[in-house]
Amino acid sequence: MIEKYRVHEVAKDLGVASKEVVDLLAANFQGERKSMTALNEQELSVIFNHYTNQNQVESFDEYFAAGRARKEAAQEAARQAAEQARAAQEAARQEAARQAAAQRAAQQPKAPAPQAAASARPQQQGGQQNRPQQNGRPQQGGQGQNRPQQNGRPQQGGFNQNRPQQGRPAPQQGQGGQQNRPQPPRPAAQPQQQPNRNQPPRQRGSATVDMRAGATQVELDRYNEKYDTLAQQKVGNQNMTAQKQKLTQRSAERRRGKPVMSRKEREDAKMRRLELERQRRKNLEVALPEEMTVGELAARLHLTASEVIKRLMTLGVMASISDTIDYDTAAMVAMEIGAKVEKEVVVTIEDRLFQVENEDDDSTLVERPPIVVVMGHVDHGKTSLLDAIRNTNVTEGEAGGITQHIGAYQVMVNDRPVTFLDTPGHAAFTSMRARGAQVTDIAVIVVAADDGIMPQTVEAINHAKAAGVSIIVAINKMDKPHANPDKVMQELTEYELVPEAWGGDVPCMPVSAKTGNGIPDLLEMIQLVADTSELKANPDRMARGTVIEAKLDKGRGPVATILVQTGTLHAGDAVIAGSTFGRVRVMLNDRGERVEEAGPSTPVEITGLDDVPEAGDVLNAVEDERLAKELVEQRKHEQKEAQFSAYEKVTLDNLFSHISQGDVKELPIIVKADVQGSVEAVKQSLEKLSNEEVRVKVIHGAVGAVSESDVMLADASNAIIVGFNVRPDPVAKENAERDGVELRFYRIIYDAINDVETAIKGMLAPKTREVELGRAEVRQVYKITGVGTVAGCYVLEGKITRNAEIRVVRDGIIIADDKLASLKRFKDDVKEVAKGYECGTGLNKFNDIKEGDIFEAYEIEEYRES
Ligand SMILES: Nc1nc2c(ncn2[C@@H]2O[C@H](COP(=O)(O)OP(=O)(O)OP(=O)(O)O)[C@@H](O)[C@H]2O)c(=O)[nH]1
């Protein structure tokens, strides 16, 4: 377990200022930390990493070996010092004995010398304890010096080294009572120099912070050393005070009730912690999210932010601590330090609530009916065809059966159902697609045999192509005398739809909605196309479907038609549809019959929702009602947020950034022009602009004003609309603004091509706008031969500048747009003339100036949309 430290303790241990640690933490974590703040494991990790990185060792084995060597060297030095001390003491003793003998010899000249020597010996052993110190320095510990230690605990620190230590005899012991002997001169024989066996050698005088052994005590050692010096100058109890202070760190720990650890133990613990950290990083397995800030990455990798920033720089990514980086970049950094990386799986409420698609393995999938939409030009017979199909079925299946419009219905073809969306036209189809609902499998494009391909037929074709659904063409009104299916097929080829009869892959079925001719064949063809598409779904799971229609019924409350796409919906199921929630109360099929369950591709009308969902909303049956309600709340909140920040649609201005970010690989364009020739010309020129990074694709081109349908298609396909000599209709303009669809209008094809080209290259020319400069009134007009017409003007407002564009306005109508050819005050050319002054002007081209004309001066300013 990692101990808890306070900032100031860590700082002290590391020998740095608390502020430095506080700053380091501030750079890596949020929130303020003070010197008394207790640190958690992660914070300690970051701190230790930081200082460890500053003081790295190649290998820990090497380091430990170095530590051992240092220790042995210190022990050797201590042994030598003790040796020298012994020698010095021996010399001193002999000298003292010699002097004593000499003294005695002097006092008792008659006594024989050997006797004197013998009598001196017992005196040395027993009587010298109370002899005054010869070096004149007061002894540390005062009276206590001669007393053996009572607690039996070996003392640490520098003070007690002169005392005899129980259990660990000082080198002098055994020589008898020499504790009070004259102290040999320092340093050679100073017992203080003896290393404490429990301590690593001190790194005196070193201010470098070193996380290796002993380094964590560097400052404490220096502090203690200072006290050694001070204490030696003091006597008695003062020493005790000093000792107390010196051991502050340990006593503080004791006060906190922590087990008191020796320095060695502390260092060992620290080393263990470091080793653990090293191992942990080696075995680090991190799950990284899609995006994260540099600071978050650093915390997850147990690195300092600066370390991560450095590593990012080597990868060519310049990022600050608060910058967001993507998964790939973060993963590279993580892998560089040897961590195993995987993507963080973000489990959303949706993930927890709904069974995901890929849970369905092939064995669970069974065939499902195809879902068909009917589209085509106005009056070509869509409604008639849908009615004819339904009636065919009703008369065949259940004569007199009630048909009810619920937005979709099923018919039986060779005893197998086919589902038709009952809303003809591509508007509903595309609006659902714009909401992300891909419901249909097959599009039947209805073309009247007597009319051929018309603008909305082309739209329908393009909408179907954009949705990627199979296309079947129903050539309708074959009963009509002018029916010309060959012409229709011929025209189809112009839109890359080659009829099967001509070797292509588009089935073209001649039918008559009026007589019913060809309808069974059409249905069989639908079935055939569906079979080749292998449409499958798993019926044995919670249902998922799409809201086709929804309304508020006075009697029944919210009513929604759901097309179940996978799974089976049961009456009584708890469901969530968009941001509505409820339980399926009553479920009716397309014939108005009450049903208890509905499998894949079945349309049903349900009641029981708490609100009216929107067409295109996805419906899910759920098990956990509480979670579902939570999700509904979340979706409502998201909807509100989305209203504020509209999803950024591709525009020519932001195209390049989308391409650079890899968001856009294809630029879909809708071209509208005044004549078909222009549509074709533009289409071809634009598509030629495709390069390796982006493919320009004209998904729809037609003659006429930009319509609501164009905007809808652009919205669904994230396309931009380019118009030539056409204007948008008011609804289209409003919808485009609402949906963020870009409309660009040009009068010259070259300009459009140029804009798209530069946009792709990220060099779109800035937009321009007029800046009004001033107005002047023409007071007199002179015709000068060789020069032309010159107008004497008076500046009414603002100013007129030499480079200004001039709009000549007569009686409120613009009659010319020109540039100034000259601007004079009296005879001098001037750069500008301000309000209230007169000037003489000439225009470049326009000569028919009259008195009373107003010259509006303006400039064209370039700007970029941010
Ligand atoms: N002779 C003949 N007339 C048909 C046929 N199909 C449709 N019509 C007629 O064509 C007209 C338009 O038919 P609708 O079914 O309303 O066409 P639509 O495409 O649904 O028209 P909108 O809903 O206005 O887009 C009606 O008068 C139909 O009676 C057909 O096969 N033969």
Q: Which amino acid is at 245?
A: Q
pLDDT > 90 fraction of the chain, expressed in percent and rounded: 19
**pLDDT, tens digit, for every residue of 209-253?**
333 333 334 444 554 554 455 445 544 444 444 444 444 455 555
CA of 456 relative to ligand 1 center, distance in Å: 15
Give the pLDDT confidence score for residue 399 in this predicted structure: 41
State how far Cα 75 lies from the chain centre. Answer: 58
Lowest mean pLDDT among 4-18, 407-421, 592-606: 4-18
| Ligand 1 shell residues, CB under 6 Å | 376, 378-384, 424, 476-477, 479-480, 512-514
CA of 409 relative to ligand 1 center, distance in Å: 20
Give the pLDDT confidence score for residue 364 in this predicted structure: 80
Q: Is 441 annotated as a binding residue?
A: no
Residue nearest to ligand 1 atom 8, measured at CA: 381
Q: Which amino acid is at 227?
A: Y
Give the pLDDT confidence score for residue 42 in this predicted structure: 81
Q: Which residue has the higher pLDDT, 650 or 858?
A: 858
**Are the C-beta atoms of 434 and 647 separated by less than 8 Å?**
no
Token pair of 554 as six digits: 């006075």
Q: Which residue has the higher pLDDT, 257 or 507?
A: 507
Q: Is the pLDDT of residue 355 over 80?
A: no
Token pair of 793 as six digits: 């003007």
**Which residues are 634's β-sheet partners?**
none
When pLDDT is cut at 50, 70 and 90, the band that residue 394 belongs to is: low
Give the pLDDT confidence score for residue 786 in this predicted structure: 78
The string over 170-182, giving b where at least 16 C-beta atoms fall within 10 Å of a residue's C-beta and e elsewhere, is: bbbeeeeebbbbb
What is the secondary structure of 84-137 as a DSSP string? HHHHHHHHHHHHHHHHHHHHHHHH-TTS-HHHHHHHHHHHHHHTTTTPPPSS-P
Q: Is 432 annotated as a binding residue?
A: no
Token pair of 259 as six digits: 């087990």
Q: Which residue has the higher pLDDT, 176 or 255?
A: 255
* 476 CA: nearest ligand 1 atom: 31
DSSP H/E element including 704: none
3-state secondary structure of 285: strand
When pLDDT is cut at 50, 70 and 90, the band that residue 279 belongs to is: low
Q: Which residue has the higher pLDDT, 439 or 234?
A: 439
Report the C-alpha dihedral over residues 204, 206, 211, 213, rounded to 10 degrees: -20
Report the C-alpha dihedral over residues 542, 352, 549, 743, rounded to 10 degrees: -140
Give the pLDDT confidence score for residue 642 in this predicted structure: 61
CA of 505 relative to ligand 1 center, distance in Å: 27
**Are the C-beta atoms of 828 and 811 separated by less than 8 Å?**
no
Highest mean pLDDT range out of 268-272, 651-655, 704-708?
704-708
Please count the residues of the chain. Answer: 866
Give the pLDDT confidence score for residue 158 in this predicted structure: 38
CA of 401 relative to ligand 1 center, distance in Å: 24
Give the pLDDT confidence score for residue 3 in this predicted structure: 52
When pLDDT is cut at 50, 70 and 90, the band that residue 120 belongs to is: very low
Residue nearest to ligand 1 atom 27, measured at CA: 379
Mutate to test the pocket of ligand 1, among 375, 377, 384 (most ligand atoms within 8 A of CB): 384
End-to-end CA distance of the chain: 54
Lowest mean pLDDT among 58-72, 492-506, 722-736, 768-782: 58-72
Any long-range contacts for 163-167 (C-beta under 8 Å, 24+ apart)? Answer: none
- Rounded to 5, what percent of the chain is helix, strand, coil? 40, 25, 35
Rg (CA), the chain: 48
Q: Is the pLDDT of residue 174 over 60?
A: no
DSSP H/E element including 268: helix 263-282
Give the pLDDT confidence score for residue 71 in this predicted structure: 62
Cβ count near 837 (within 10 Å): 15
CA of 378 relative to ligand 1 center, distance in Å: 8
Q: Is 151 annotated as a binding residue?
A: no
Listed residue (650, 656, 648, 649) closest to 763, CA to CA:
656
Summarize the confidence of residues 419-424 as an average pLDDT: 81
Token pair of 87 as six digits: 């020698």
CA of 516 relative to ligand 1 center, distance in Å: 13
Give the DSSP letter of residue 744. E
CA of 706 relative to ligand 1 center, distance in Å: 26
d(CA 726, CA 733): 12
Q: Is the pLDDT of residue 612 over 60?
A: yes
Task: Give 245's contacts (C-beta < 8 A, 6+ positions apart).
Answer: 227
Q: Which residue has the higher pLDDT, 823 or 89?
A: 823
Q: Which residue has the higher pLDDT, 47 or 346?
A: 47
When pLDDT is cut at 50, 70 and 90, the band that residue 186 belongs to is: very low
**Distances 855 to 207, 769, 771, 835 between C-alpha atoms, Å:** 81, 18, 14, 13
Q: Which amino acid is at 740?
A: G
Q: Which residue has the higher pLDDT, 782 or 653?
A: 782
d(CA 680, CA 703): 10
Cβ count near 72 (within 10 Å): 10
Task: Report the mean per-residue pLDDT for the chain.
Answer: 75
Give the pLDDT confidence score for residue 453 in this predicted structure: 92
Residue nearest to ligand 1 atom 25, measured at CA: 378
**pLDDT, tens digit, for every residue of 196-213?**
444 444 433 333 333 333
How many CA within 13 A on the CB side of residue 537?
A: 21
What is the secondary structure of 405-450 as a DSSP string? -SSEEEEEETTEEEEEES--SHHHHHHHHHTT----SEEEEEEETT
Q: Is 499 annotated as a binding residue?
A: no
Q: Is 393 annotated as a binding residue?
A: no
Give the pLDDT confidence score for residue 634 in this predicted structure: 83
∠ Cα 52 58 59 (to 5°): 95
* 513 CA: nearest ligand 1 atom: 31
What is the secondary structure of 155-174 as a DSSP string? P-SSGGGGS-BTTB--TTTT
What is the secondary structure of 190-224 as a DSSP string? -GGGSPPTTSPPP-TT--S---STTGGGHHHHHHH
Give the pLDDT confidence score for residue 460 in this predicted structure: 86
Give the pLDDT confidence score for residue 194 in this predicted structure: 42
3-state secondary structure of 62: helix
Pairing of strands 788-801, 805-810: unpaired
Give the pLDDT confidence score for residue 393 in this predicted structure: 60
Token pair of 630 as six digits: 């939570």
d(CA 536, CA 550): 26
Q: Is the pLDDT of residue 712 over 70?
A: yes
Q: Is the pLDDT of residue 446 over 70?
A: yes
Mutate to test the pocket of ligand 1, among 374, 377, 379 (most ligand atoms within 8 A of CB): 379
d(CA 550, CA 554): 13
Token pair of 262 as six digits: 């020796």
When pLDDT is cut at 50, 70 and 90, the band that residue 147 belongs to is: very low
**pLDDT, tens digit, for every residue of 527-586?**
999 999 889 888 888 898 999 888 888 888 899 999 999 899 999 999 998 888 899 999
Q: Is residue 137 classed exposed, middle or buried when 0-12, 13-18 and 19+ CB atoms within 10 A define those classes? A: exposed
Q: Which residue has the higher pLDDT, 766 or 15?
A: 15
d(CA 411, CA 397): 9
Lowest mean pLDDT among 229-233, 334-338, 699-703: 229-233
Give phi and psi for 431, each to the nearest 5.
Answer: -65, -35
Give the pLDDT confidence score for residue 608 in this predicted structure: 92
Q: Is 264 annotated as a binding residue?
A: no
Give the pLDDT confidence score for residue 435 in this predicted structure: 65
Give the pLDDT confidence score for residue 196 in this predicted structure: 42
**pLDDT, tens digit, for every residue of 618-662?**
898 888 888 788 888 888 887 776 655 445 566 676 666 666 666
Give the pLDDT confidence score for residue 646 in this predicted structure: 46
d(CA 51, CA 301): 16
DSSP H/E element including 730: helix 730-739
Helix residue ranges, H only, 534-675 = 625-644, 652-660
Token pair of 568 as six digits: 């089976």
Give phi and psi for 550, each to the nearest 5.
Answer: -155, 145
Give the DSSP letter of residue 665. S
State how far Cα 525 lies from the chain centre. Answer: 48
* 380 CA: nearest ligand 1 atom: 19
Give the pLDDT confidence score for residue 745 in this predicted structure: 84
Predicted interface score ipTM higher than 0.90: yes
- pTM to 2 decimals? 0.47
State how far Cα 554 lies from the chain centre. Answer: 47
Q: Is 462 annotated as a binding residue?
A: no
Give the DSSP letter of residue 185. P
Cβ count near 792 (within 10 Å): 17
Report the C-alpha dihedral over residues 798, 804, 805, 808, rounded to 10 degrees: 50
Q: Is 476 annotated as a binding residue?
A: yes
Give the pLDDT confidence score for residue 650 in this predicted structure: 65
